Homo-oligomer: A and B are copies of this chain.
Amino acid sequence: MSLTRRAFIQRMAQIGGYSAAFATMQALGLLPGAEASLLPQLPADFGKGKKIVILGAGIAGLVSAYELRKAGFDCTIIEARHRPGGRSWSVRNGTKVEFTDGTVQTCSWQNGGYLNPGPARIPSIHTHLLNYCRDLGVPLEVEVNTSRSALMQADVLNDGKPVQQRQVVHDTRGYLAELLSKAINQHTLDTELSKEDTTRLLDFLSSFGDLNDKSKYTGTTRAGFIVGPDAGLTKAVLHKPLGFHELLLSDFSFGEFYEEQIDWQATMFQPIGGMDRIPYGFARALPADMIQYDSPVTEITTGDSSVTVAYTQSGAPKTLTADFCICTMPISVLSQTKNNFSPETQKAFTSIPLTALYKIGWESPRFWETENNIYGGISFLSSDMVNLVWYPTDKLFSPTGVVVAGFGTERQDIGGTILGGSATLKPTPFGALPTMQAKFDVSRAAVEKLHPGRGHLLAKPIYVSWAKIPYSIGCFANIFLPGTESAYAQLDKPQGRTYFAGDYLSYLVGWQEGALLSAHHAIERIAKQIRT
Binding site for B on A (CB under 8 A): 6, 9-10, 13, 18-19, 21-22, 25-26, 31-38, 124-125, 127, 130, 134, 140-142, 144, 146-149, 161, 164, 166, 169-170, 176, 179-180, 182-183, 186, 188-189, 192-194, 197, 200-201, 203-205, 207-208, 219, 221-222, 224-240, 244-245, 248-249, 251, 253, 257, 260-262, 265-267, 269, 371-377, 393, 396-397, 489, 492, 501, 505-508, 514, 517-521
Contacts and interface: CB of A to CB of B under 8 A. Distances in A.
Contact of A257 (B38, B208, B230): B208
A267 B227 contact: no
A517 B9 CA distance: 58
A376 B507 CA distance: 27
Given A18-B219, A25-B226, A35-B229, 7 more contacts: A35-B228, A36-B228, A38-B230, A149-B267, A180-B180, A231-B501, A232-B506
Contacts of A205: 176
A172 to B, nearest CB: 8
B183 A393 contact: no
A144 B142 CA distance: 8
Contacts of A18: 219, 226, 237-240
Nearest to A158: B26
Closest 7 CB pairs between A and B?
A35-B228, A183-B183, A229-B507, A231-B521, A148-B265, A231-B506, A231-B518
Contact of A260 (B33, B170, B201, B225): B170
Nearest to A518: B231
Contacts of A169: 260
Contacts of A36: 227-228, 230
A283 B73 CA distance: 60
A236 to B, nearest CB: 6
A63 to B, nearest CB: 11
Among A32, A134, A393, residue most surrounded by chain B Cβ atoms (within 10 Å): A32
Nearest to A169: B260
Contacts of A260: 169-170, 222
Contacts of A238: 18
A208 B166 contact: no
A80 B520 CA distance: 62
A144 B266 contact: yes
Contacts of A189: 179, 182-183
A193 to B, nearest CB: 8
Q: How many copies does the complex hold?
A: 2
A267 B26 CA distance: 35
A518 B232 contact: yes
B225 A266 contact: no
27 contacts: A6-B227, A13-B235, A21-B227, A22-B226, A26-B161, A32-B224, A32-B226, A33-B149, A33-B228, A35-B230, A37-B230, A38-B232, A124-B147, A124-B375, A147-B267, A148-B265, A170-B260, A179-B189, A179-B193, A197-B244, A200-B248, A221-B261, A222-B265, A230-B517, A231-B505, A266-B377, A267-B376
Nearest to A9: B227
Nearest to A244: B197
B227 A514 contact: no
Contacts of A142: 141-142, 144, 375-376, 393, 396
A402 to B, nearest CB: 18
A373 B227 contact: no
Contacts of A222: 260-262, 265
Contacts of A231: 38, 501, 505-508, 514, 517-521
Among A21, A142, A186, residue most surrounded by chain B Cβ atoms (within 10 Å): A142
Given A182-B192, A228-B36, A266-B144, A233 B489 contact: yes
A489 B233 CA distance: 7
Contact of A166 (B144, B253, B265): B265
A33 B176 contact: no
Given A32-B239, A506-B232, A13 B224 contact: no
